[in-house]
Structure 1
Amino acid sequence: MTPAGSAAALLAVLRDTGRTRIDRAGLWRAFVDAVPSAHGSADARRLLAAALDELAAAGALIPTAATDDGSPPLPRAVRLTRPAAAPALRPAADPWHPELSAAAAVRAPAEAVRQVNRWLFAGGTRAPLAGLRERALEITGDEKAFDAGLPVPLTPQILRAERVALPMHRERLPGGGPVLLVVENADTFHSLLLALRADPGPVGTLGWGAGNAFVSSVPSLAADPPAAIRYFGDLDAAGLRIPARASAVAQAGGLPAVRPATGLYRALLAHGRPAPAGPADHTDVEWLDPGLRGPVRELFAAGRRMAQEAVGRRVLGSGRDWRDGLGPGP
Structure 2
Amino acid sequence: MNAASGTEELAERLRATGRTRIDRAGLWRAFAEAVPSAAGSVDARRMLADAIGELAGAGVLTPSRATDEGRPPLPRSVKLVRAAPEPTPRTGEPWHPELAAADAMRAPSAVVRLVNRWLFTGGTRAEAVPLRERALEITGDEKAFDAGLPVPLTLEILRAERVTLPLHREHLPGGGPVLLVVENADTFASVRTFLRREPGPVGSVAWGAGNGFTSSVLSLREDPPAAIRYFGDLDAAGLRIPARTSALAEQAGLPPVHPATGLYRSLLEHGHPASAGTGGVPAELDWLDPGLRGPVRELFADGQRMAQEAVGRRVLGAGNAWREGLGPA
TM (norm. structure 2) is 0.67
Aligned match of 1:287: 287
Aligned match of 2:133: 134
> CA contact under 8 A between 2:179 and 2:203: conserved in structure 1?
yes
| Structure 2 spans left out of the alignment, 5+ residues | 1-84
Tell me which structure has the larger Cα radius of gyration. Answer: 1
Q: Separation in 2 of the partners of 1:231 and 1:144?
A: 28
Q: 1:198 to 1:142 in 2, by over 3 A?
A: same
Aligned match of 1:303: 303
Q: 1:151 to 1:286 in 2, by over 3 A?
A: farther
Aligned match of 1:147: 146
Aligned match of 2:60: none
Q: 1:134 to 1:177 in 2, by over 3 A?
A: same
After superposition, residues 115-264 of structure 1 pair within 5 angstroms as: 115-264=114-263
Secondary structure of the corresponding residue to residue 296 of structure 1: helix
Q: Post-superposition shift, 1:255?
A: 1.7
What is the aligned-residue RMSD (CA, Å)?
2.5
Q: Separation in 1 of the partners of 2:175 and 2:164?
A: 26
Deviations 1:33-88 (A, max 9, x none): xxxxxxxxxxxxxxxxxxxxxxxxxxxxxxxxxxxxxxxxxxxxxxxxxxxxxx97
Secondary structure of the corresponding residue to residue 229 of structure 1: strand
Deviations 1:242-270 (A, max 9, x none): 22232233223222222211221111112
> CA contact under 8 A between 2:210 and 2:241: conserved in structure 1?
yes
Identity %: 74
Q: Post-superposition shift, 1:306?
A: 0.6
Secondary structure of the corresponding residue to residue 300 of structure 1: helix
Secondary structure of the corresponding residue to residue 198 of structure 2: coil
Aligned residues: 243
Q: 1:185 to 1:120 in 2, by over 3 A?
A: same
Bigger relative contact order, structure 1 or 2 (CA pairs below 8 A, ≥6 apart): 2
Q: Post-superposition shift, 1:189?
A: 0.4
Deviations 1:191-238 (A, max 9, x none): 101111121111100101111111221211111111111111111111
Deviations 1:113-169 (A, max 9, x none): 443333333332222100111112112222222233334443322221111222211
| Structure 1 spans left out of the alignment, 5+ residues | 1-86
> CA contact under 8 A between 2:263 and 2:322: conserved in structure 1?
yes
Secondary structure of the corresponding residue to residue 210 of structure 2: coil
Q: Separation in 2 of the partners of 1:206 and 1:285?
A: 24
Q: Separation in 2 of the partners of 1:112 and 1:270?
A: 50
After superposition, residues 33-182 of structure 1 pair within 5 angstroms as: 90=88, 92-93=90-91, 94=93, 96-103=95-102, 110-182=109-181
TM (norm. structure 1) is 0.66
